[in-house]
Amino acid sequence: MSREEDMDGMIGAGSIILVDQLQDLGINAGDITKLKAAGIYSVSTVMSTTKRNLSKIKGLSEVKVEKIKEASNKLVNCGFVSALIQCDIRKRVIKISTGCKSFDQMLNGGISTMSTTEVFGEFRTGKTQLSHTLCVTAQLPKDQGGAEGKVAYIDTEGTFRPERIHEIAERFGLDGNQCLENISYVRALNSEHQHELVEQLGMHLSQGGYRLIIVDSIISLFRVDYSGRGELGERQQKLNQHLSKLGRMAEEFNCAVFLTNQVQSDPGASALFASVDGRKPVGGHILAHASQTRILLRKGRGDERIAKIQDSPECPEGECTYVLGSGGIMDVSE
Amino acid sequence: MNLNTPFKNYRKRSSSKNISSPEPVIVPQIGTSNTPSNLSTKNNNIVKYSVLYRKFTNKKNKTWEGDGTLIWYTNNDIALIKNEDDTMICKLKDANKSILKGSFSGSGYEFELDEEIVTSKIPKLTLSSTPTQIIHKPIIKPFKSPLLTINSNNNKNNIIKNIDQKDQKGQNIIQKDKIVDNKKVQDIITKSSSSKQTKETNRLKSSDPLYDIKNVQNPLFMPDFPKSIDDSEIHRKVVVDPVLSVKLRDHQRYGVEFLYSCLMGLKSSDINGAILADEMGLGKTLQTITLIWTLLRQSHIVGKKPIIDKVLICCPVSLVSNWKNEFSKWLGMNRVGVLAINGNKFQNEVRDIQLFPNNKVYQVMIIGYEKMQSMSELLSEITFDLLICDEGHRLKSSENKAIKTLKSFNIKRTILLSGTPIQNDLTEFYTMADFVNPGVLGSLKHFQKTFVKPILSSRDAKCTNKALIKKGKEKSKELVELTNKFILRRLNDELTKYLPKRSDYILFIAPTSLQLQLFKTIIETKRFQTLIDGETDENSSTIKNSSSSSSSLNLINSFRKICNSPSLLKTDSFFLDISERSSNSAEDVEFRNQLGKKVKSGKILVLIKLLGLLYAKNDEKVVIVSNFTATLDIIESIFQSLGLAFTRLDGSTPSNERGKIVDSFNKSSTTKSFAMLLSAKAGGVGLNLIGASRLILFDNDWNPAVDLQAIARIHRDGQMKDVKVYRFLTNGCMDEKIFQRQLVKQDLSDRFVDQKGGEKEIFDRSDLKDIFTINFDKIKTNQYCNTHELMCCDCNGKGEIVLENEFGSDLEDSNEESDEDEDEETKEKKKFMSALDYTQKYPDNENENTKVDEIKRKRLRRCLKGYRHIQPVQSSIVFKTDDDILDTLLNGQDREKPLISYVFGKY
């Protein structure tokens, strides 16, 4: 990342083309309102939704859908480009520091935008603490490892503590109240609500200014709403759609999506699944493949915790140690 | 259904245009119709809706084929449905019911009602006017940075108050705004905050200094660059971050400016590095950190990247954590990423070094010299922009591997930090200067020819050639001028403005009779006599053979041990040898055992008394420094027997514990930790013992720097109380002699010392005889002080400030006078004259020895300037120094057998 990097992903919706621009190409306002009601706010979202799904929107006929798709194609080019251009696009990626320098080093700078990061581990390993720390670090200026952006926090377990945000903000020398202002918080009530929220999120994100979406945890409501083997298939499908939507949003709006996951016990586990103590993350392969970076957290000695990369498209395997403290996630100090 | 409806014209409608049709539909009112409440009252009998239609299908995933219009004749409740091409596809009866349902079917089609089509000229009312349907569009505030800055604009738009509506469960439902004109205000917000954002993010691109300095009292600007040829380069002022500049003292501000101009090539094109040679305690670390932070974040050219990106700091291993702590102390933990390679076993060092250049997590790497050697391959892959070498005098030898490795990294800018850069040798000095600025002093041969030879030959004590001396002085001046461009050295007196007062007391302590007896024993042995005589016979300028030099060293050490405590002699093989007590006979064994029990010496007695008085005072802690761990053992046992709490730090203390020990000593109360026992060499390395306000130098080392380091442990930044330093010397014995020589050496260190220097020089043959001379009789009078005598001071020991007149004329002048006299003398000597005249004019009175004594005397006076001389054993006087403990000690002494015979005090 050079200093002269493209800054307009930050200010306003510079690179985000909103659906309102389709009006100029002949789509009437009413249809655009319908699109927005369905949570589609930007033209790139239109491009990523299939015609089938667009037709399912209340009030849009197949003919309309064709027209909309055609118009969107004119505005956004989604064809082949040379990898060099892709490289330029990747320059907009911002790495958000996790608060612990060795953790950042392991991730080659921190958790990156335009990608989904999943963190899983047993209870008390620091997943929620990490989420809180990221809420604050995402607001730091870029030269301090932050992303200078707002945070959307979807809480499914009821573990969000604004008081912690105050403490963590103190550690970084930030104004606690302003930090809280920059976090958009919602408590998801059930898995369907969780999915609807993502649509709402589209509206927020299209205004620009968001850099981090945290879902803590992604799976807990799904686990509750769908029970038994019979509904497992449906659960996985819904989960998949949910994740795919989140992932697309991350790429379109240059945000980092940070997911927390739970673990399930596997009494009969053999060495097949190489997780440390016979526990494997919930969500199966759907969740495993949806997130680009996966990190396992486990408890070390005393108040140390160990993070290990399980899957990453760019970082080599590695481990690092961190401690949980009043300032969130911190380096092990000697 | 009433079929006799009058003619109504209805319009075709094309559904794909979004313009509302301009012509009003005029419908004559036949009768009153029961219009449902949600119909607009504009068109009485016709209501139009847009609908979606599809053919009936049983598919699971149904889609709407197209859009149509539904025209509802309210009077007879018939609805006609047309598709896009205006062909009618369905006719509905009981339209009312279907319309209410919303989705209905008919004629093989399924329909879904969309929205009403309003066709009048009157512009559509905005949705917000209809009361029941409010689309809540929460105002999304743009991102506002939560940074706390010195001048954070309180950009509070207090106009808007967002009230969160919470229901019983405490969930946020909707945010309503209480504003009348919400759109206008939103514009204001977005404009102001986005402009602020652009301001902040574009600060680098503007020509203003990076930090907002309007509110800073005394901003520190770096020197400007000269105008460059390239017109597109706009220069801006580089300013030190106010967070740091408010904490810098004056000399530190100058230091940072100096370093900046050296590093950026402002002084001269071949100068890219600097040597910061401030004395200890002046804040070299802080100045370096300020410079690093300034260069990491700023560039003097608008729009360019900051000047440096990655920094390498090499220092002794034990200081690595210290540097890291300093960074976090001054800059906080989050501004700069500091990677410290310090042998922590949890760290994967290789991986850390490999990942260091790839990302922006770390900007500074701190590594020990040895580690740097072993990782040199990995390190050579990284491009560093700045190199800092702490304790740079380690690099003084050009054959040093460290210097070669560092040179191979090709780092453009270098800073060398050292408290004692010029220790002994001009060649060493050349190595350091050449490392920092290659080529500035020419090649080594050139340097030796031009500078070293003339300077050294002029410094030689035997040199009489005036021309040579003059040339040497010139060359030395030239060298100093040349190097002053990139070497900065300030002395500790700068600090005296900021630090609390420091008083030095040199206590000349009477030796016990046992000590004197032991000295006598040694002096009267045959071996001793042969050693001394053998040495003085030889020519003073040739080097002794090693066996005799080592035995004189052993002898000196034995004497030192006696001064500290006789019991230390029990294990001294040399002493036992020389006094023929080393056999295993019962008598000898008994002798040795007895000797081992005789712990007490004059110094120990005074120590016990002093500690007692100090502990009773109960608010000051003390540091006791010694050069021998055996002595520290003895002192430790004394503490244990007295029941006083103490901590100990010497060479054997593991390095990771040292920090903790130091911290706990500084913070604890006197009951928990009253004293710190410190070994002189181990304590020299950067320890901060400001918790103590008294220092006892129990014995001294040949090298004055060691003692000075020890003093600097407590008299430094952060010390709150007045500092009192006590130096214990056994009167008339080895301690005092070493002390005198220390003073002489210290004086010389400010200039370039000739030849090999170091300890060997002290072993001047005639000097040795003097060292071992003990004037027993005078010592027993308890009023004698050898140093005082040597200084030829006429005061009567009453503790008054010694004025300079008493010493005679000013020393510098007298030297020069004698030079001039000599000048004339030599001129005259060149003329011819009779031998008789010659002997009359220039009698042979200039004995070399007396000349040397004269020099010594002058130097002693110079070094001990400012000390008051106190002879405690005087009948009527009650002494008052600024230390009441010392007063108690002095005044409470036994007149017959005083412990302290003399005191030099500087207060």
The reported pLDDT for the residue numbered B22 is 47
Domain boundary among A91, A123, A138: A91
Chain A within 8 Å of B38 (Cβ-Cβ)? no
The reported pLDDT for the residue numbered A4 is 29
Q: What angle do CA B629, B634, B635 make, to 5 degrees?
A: 95
In chain A, which residues have their Cβ closer than 8 Å to the Cβ of B172?
185-186
Q: Do B146 and A139 touch (CB under 8 A)?
A: yes
Q: Do B361 and A104 touch (CB under 8 A)?
A: yes
> Are A81 and A120 contained in the same domain?
no
> Are A173 and A231 contained in the same domain?
yes
pLDDT tens digits, B696-737 = 999 888 877 777 778 878 887 778 888 899 999 888 888 888
> Does residue B186 have a pLDDT over 60?
no
| Omega before residue B129 within 30° of 0, cis | no
The reported pLDDT for the residue numbered B347 is 67
> Does residue B863 have a pLDDT over 60?
yes
Which B residues in the span 728-787 are in contact with A, Cβ-Cβ below 8 Å? none
Instruction: Pick B148's closest partner by Cβ from A1, A59, A173.
Output: A173
Please report where in the chains the tokens 């009567």 appear, as a residue: B796
Between these two residues, B30 and B295, which has the higher pLDDT value?
A: B295
pLDDT tens digits, B578-604 = 777 777 788 878 877 877 777 788 888
> Are A66 and A214 contained in the same domain?
no
pLDDT > 90 in chain B, percent: 6
| Residue A20, C-beta contacts closer than 8 angstroms, at least 6 positions apart | A32
The reported pLDDT for the residue numbered A269 is 59
Domain boundary among A31, A65, A91: A91
Of A20-29, B72-81, B439-448, B775-784, the range with the lowest mean pLDDT is B775-784
Angle between helices B734-748 and B704-714 (to 10 degrees): 90
In chain B, which residues have their Cβ closer than 8 Å to the Cβ of A57?
none
The domain that holds A38 is classified in CATH as 1.10.150.20
Of A49-53, B303-307, B791-795, the range with the lowest mean pLDDT is B791-795
pLDDT band at residue B204, thresholds of 50, 70 and 90?
Answer: low
- Write out chain A's pLDDT in tens, 334 residues: 333 233 333 222 446 788 888 888 888 888 888 888 888 888 888 888 888 888 888 888 888 899 999 888 888 877 888 899 889 888 889 999 999 988 998 998 899 999 999 999 988 898 999 999 999 999 998 888 889 999 999 999 999 999 999 999 998 889 999 999 999 999 999 999 999 898 888 888 888 789 999 998 899 999 999 988 899 999 999 999 999 999 988 888 899 999 999 888 876 655 555 555 557 888 888 888 899 999 999 998 888 999 999 899 988 888 899 999 888 898 887 4
The reported pLDDT for the residue numbered B314 is 93
> Does residue B213 have a pLDDT over 80?
no
The mean of the pLDDT values for chain B is: 74
In chain A, which residues have their Cβ closer than 8 Å to the Cβ of B63?
52, 55-56, 61-62
Q: Write the DSSP string, B54-97.
A: EE----SS--B-EEEEEEEETTTTEEEEE-TTS-EEEEESSHHH
- Write down all domains in chain B, each with its CATH number in brackets: 1-124 (no CATH), 242-442+486-495 (3.40.50.10810), 513-597 (no CATH)
> Are A98 and A85 contained in the same domain?
no
> Are A137 and A79 contained in the same domain?
no
ipTM attached to this prediction = 0.77
Instruction: Spell out the SS3 assignment of B479-493.
Output: HHHHHCCCEECCCHH
> Does residue B41 have a pLDDT over 50?
no
Domain boundary among A42, A67, A91: A91
Q: Report the C-alpha gap between B441 and B451 in whole angstroms.
A: 10
Instruction: Pick A181's closest partner by Cβ from B144, B305, B359.
Output: B144
> Are A192 and A43 contained in the same domain?
no
pLDDT band at residue B888, thresholds of 50, 70 and 90?
Answer: confident
> Are A235 and A287 contained in the same domain?
yes
Nearest residue to B29 (alpha-carbon basis) of B45, B10, B53: B45
> Are A302 and A188 contained in the same domain?
yes
Q: Which residues pair with B502 in a beta bridge?
A: B723
Which tokens in the block code for residue A333?
A: 């100090």
> Are A256 and A152 contained in the same domain?
yes
The reported pLDDT for the residue numbered B541 is 40
Q: Do B145 and A334 touch (CB under 8 A)?
A: no
Between these two residues, A18 and B671, which has the higher pLDDT value?
A: A18
Q: Which residues pair with B646 in a beta bridge?
A: B675
Q: Report the C-alpha gap between B834 and B176 in whole angstroms.
A: 120
> Does residue B404 have a pLDDT over 50?
yes
> Are A86 and A75 contained in the same domain?
yes
Between these two residues, B224 and B537, which has the higher pLDDT value?
A: B224
The domain that holds A226 is classified in CATH as 3.40.50.300
> Are A38 and A97 contained in the same domain?
no
Max CA distance (Å), chain A: 67
Average pLDDT over residues B98-116: 85
Distances (CA, A) of A129 to A135, A147, A167, A322, B188: 10, 19, 12, 12, 37
pLDDT band at residue B36, thresholds of 50, 70 and 90?
Answer: very low
Q: Report the C-alpha gap between B212 and B169 in whole angstroms.
A: 46
E runs forming strands in B232-277? 273-276
Of B8-12, B143-147, B357-361, B533-537, the range with the lowest mean pLDDT is B533-537
Instruction: Pick A148's closest partner by Cβ from B143, B297, B352.
Output: B143
Total domains in the fold of chain A: 2
Chain A within 8 Å of B140 (Cβ-Cβ)? yes
The reported pLDDT for the residue numbered A214 is 95
> Does residue B494 have a pLDDT over 50?
yes
DSSP class of A321: E
Instruction: Spell out the SS3 assignment of B820-844.
Output: HHHHHHHHHHHCCCCHHHHHHHCCC
> Does residue B340 have a pLDDT over 80?
yes
Residue A299 domain boundaries: 93-331
> Does residue B214 have a pLDDT over 70?
no
> Does residue B366 have a pLDDT over 90?
yes
Q: Report the C-alpha gap between A167 and A175 in whole angstroms.
A: 10
Instruction: Pick B63's closest partner by Cβ from A55, A104, A204.
Output: A55
pLDDT band at residue B386, thresholds of 50, 70 and 90?
Answer: very high
Chain A within 8 Å of B449 (Cβ-Cβ)? no
DSSP class of B450: I
pLDDT band at residue B462, thresholds of 50, 70 and 90?
Answer: low
> Are A172 and A292 contained in the same domain?
yes
